[in-house]
Copies of this chain bind each other. A is one copy, B any other.
């Protein structure tokens, strides 16, 4: 069990050895339990963020913590809406609380850098707040050695990759819910958990420029997906995964291992 990157698998003594250098990096995948249409499993966001974290950790010599497997409420413009059966969510205070506790707990143990790898659009600001509150409580301000990074994996997809994955033009990240990106990644990483025969093709959802609450349910397609997964393929998934992992590794290595000018050493 000593060779796993997953904290779940390590015993406490092996873990302490991993922290002994004072430079340990722990990645925390964050996802959701959320409807992703008829062709993808409810755990898609958690599954994907865990895969990215695992791949990055393997190459960086980092560790992967248990994922935050429930995310903030699905919003209609990015996830179809929290009213949809199968979508099981946390409110803001709970997600803030979980992130805040994990940051405090890991940094107090001697972890040098904590990295949240987000896979569910709606989580971002609540994770940010949890991190910020934790650092304030710990008295960690500019110039301190420990740090926390927060990222969503799709922010590392390059324009080149996008052009190859969406030859007809990229519809925008917000409606990439159960669409080509997630489906292709799942086809490459977890083919047994995708049912391409259940994909319903059709035009992308057209949603207002505002959020309306309570939601108007008719605005979400019956599938629960905001754009079609019809053009997905394992090859696209491989491309996406490879490029994003490369970029994540490059950026995290530059930032946390090589430590650029201006960054505490």
* Interfacial chain B residues near A122, Cβ < 8 Å: 125
Please tell me if the beta carbons of B92 and A209 are within 8 angstroms of each other in the complex. no
Give the shortest distance, in Å, between A214 (CB) and chain B (any CB). Answer: 5
A208 within 8 A of B: yes
Please tell me if the beta carbons of A70 and B101 are within 8 angstroms of each other in the complex. yes
Binary B-proximity of A61-104 (CB < 8 A = 1, otherwise 0): 00001110110110100000011111111111110111011100
Please tell me if the beta carbons of B11 and A37 are within 8 angstroms of each other in the complex. yes
Please tell me if the beta carbons of A42 and B12 are within 8 angstroms of each other in the complex. yes
CB closest residue in chain B, given A8 = B43
* Interfacial chain B residues near A97, Cβ < 8 Å: 90-91, 93-94, 97
* Interfacial chain B residues near A86, Cβ < 8 Å: 10, 12, 15-16, 109
Given the complex of chains A and B, what is the CA–CA distance between A251 and B209 in angstroms?
8
Please tell me if the beta carbons of A12 and B33 are within 8 angstroms of each other in the complex. no
Please tell me if the beta carbons of B43 and A102 are within 8 angstroms of each other in the complex. no
Given the complex of chains A and B, what is the CA–CA distance between A192 and B98 in angstroms?
30
Given the complex of chains A and B, what is the CA–CA distance between A128 and B74 in angstroms?
11
Give the shortest distance, in Å, between A72 (CB) and chain B (any CB). Answer: 8
Please tell me if the beta carbons of A8 and B38 are within 8 angstroms of each other in the complex. no
Residues A85 and B132 in contact in the complex (CB < 8 Å), given A70-B102, A125-B126, A210-B149: no
Give the shortest distance, in Å, between A36 (CB) and chain B (any CB). Answer: 7
* Interfacial chain B residues near A37, Cβ < 8 Å: 11-12
Between A and B, 16 residue pairs with Cβ closer than 8 Å are A8-B69, A11-B42, A12-B224, A66-B69, A73-B132, A91-B97, A94-B100, A115-B210, A122-B125, A128-B211, A131-B213, A135-B214, A142-B216, A147-B212, A147-B213, A150-B210
Q: A residues engaging B (CB < 8 A)?
A: 1, 6-13, 15-16, 19, 33, 35-43, 46-47, 65-67, 69-70, 72-73, 75, 82-94, 96-98, 100-102, 105-106, 109-110, 115, 122, 124-126, 128-129, 131-133, 135, 140-144, 147-151, 155-156, 192-193, 195, 198, 208-219, 224, 247, 251, 255, 261-263
